[in-house]
């Protein structure tokens, strides 16, 4: 069974940093892109960024709204992807999801359950 | 950046057909993917590459894409289909994943 499970969410002060983890199982992790998304309360889905597989040189791409504050990495030996976000703002408050992606089509077929990040003083 | 436009809401009676549109300039030249999201749950892929269904998704779900509009069609709608639906593409020019704003499907 394919599983992705986000962790690391919680309450963060503005200006601080967070690191979310996405350990995965049930598939050949190293062969897939892993992407991060977020969804603010009552809002739609927003793409944060992704990291491709080794076959695509572990390329990273980031959404315009977070570029410069975000870094996505992965450890294929442990089947884990990470999201590092710096200089947190209240508008970063959202549920953050990781998802498995298909590199050729950029669609995302398995999602984690999400982790809530709240940025507030 | 590329913009995808969805109607905020669509209502349909049980047993009828729901059609949810996703508009974008020359979207027919892109691959469109659709996700279903029920309250408090993660999104679920229901259509990829315009019209393909992942395993486990009922045949009642279908998709099409041409010109400036992609459409998700759900036939024989039942209460379990009530959810938010999001279309998504990859925009080559901005190298970004783009979502539509989402459509809330209500089963009357």
Over range B20-38, report the average pLDDT: 98
SS3 A30: helix
B88–A107 CB contact, under 8 Å? yes
Give per-residue pLDDT as tens, B10-22: 999 999 999 999 9
Residue A102: band (very low, low, confident or very high) from pLDDT cuts 50, 70, 90: confident
Put simply, whether A50 touches B (Cβ < 8 Å) is: yes
SS3 content of chain B, % helix, strand, coil (to 5): 5, 50, 45
SS3 content of chain A, % helix, strand, coil (to 5): 5, 50, 40
Task: Specify the pLDDT at position A28.
Answer: 96
Put simply, whether B30 touches A (Cβ < 8 Å) is: no
Task: Specify the pLDDT at position A104.
Answer: 75
Task: Specify the pLDDT at position A74.
Answer: 97
Q: Which residues, in sequence order, are bridge partners of residue A23?
A: A80
Q: Which residues, in sequence order, are bridge partners of residue A43?
A: none
A45–B95 CB contact, under 8 Å? no
Give per-residue pLDDT as tens, A18-63: 999 999 999 999 999 999 999 999 999 999 999 999 999 999 999 9
Over range B35-43, report the average pLDDT: 97
């Amino acid at each position: 069974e394919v599983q992705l499970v986000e962790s690391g969410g919680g309450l963060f002060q503005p200006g601080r940093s967070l690191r979310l983890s996405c350990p995965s199982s049930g598939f050949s992790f190293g062969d897939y892109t892993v992407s991060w998304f977020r969804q603010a309360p009552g809002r739609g889905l927003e793409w944060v960024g992704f990291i491709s597989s080794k076959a695509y040189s572990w390329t990273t791409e980031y959404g315009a709204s977070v570029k410069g504050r975000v870094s996505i990495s992965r450890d294929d030996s442990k089947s884990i992807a990470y999201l590092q976000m710096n200089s947190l703002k209240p508008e970063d408050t959202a549920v953050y999801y990781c998802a498995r992606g298909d590199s050729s089509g950029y669609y995302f077929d398995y999602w984690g359950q999400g982790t809530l990040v709240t940025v507030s003083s | 950046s590329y913009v995808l436009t969805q109607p905020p809401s669509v209502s349909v009676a049980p047993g009828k057909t729901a059609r949810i549109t996703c508009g974008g300039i020359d979207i027919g030249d892109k691959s469109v993917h659709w996700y279903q999201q029920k309250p408090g749950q993660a999104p679920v892929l229901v259509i990829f590459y315009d019209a393909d269904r992942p395993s486990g998704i009922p045949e009642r779900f279908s998709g099409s894409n041409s010109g400036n509009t992609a459409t998700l069609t759900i036939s024989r709608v039942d209460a379990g289909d009530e959810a938010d639906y999001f279309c998504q593409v990859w925009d080559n020019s901005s190298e970004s994943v783009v979502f539509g704003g989402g459509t809330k499907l209500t089963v009357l």
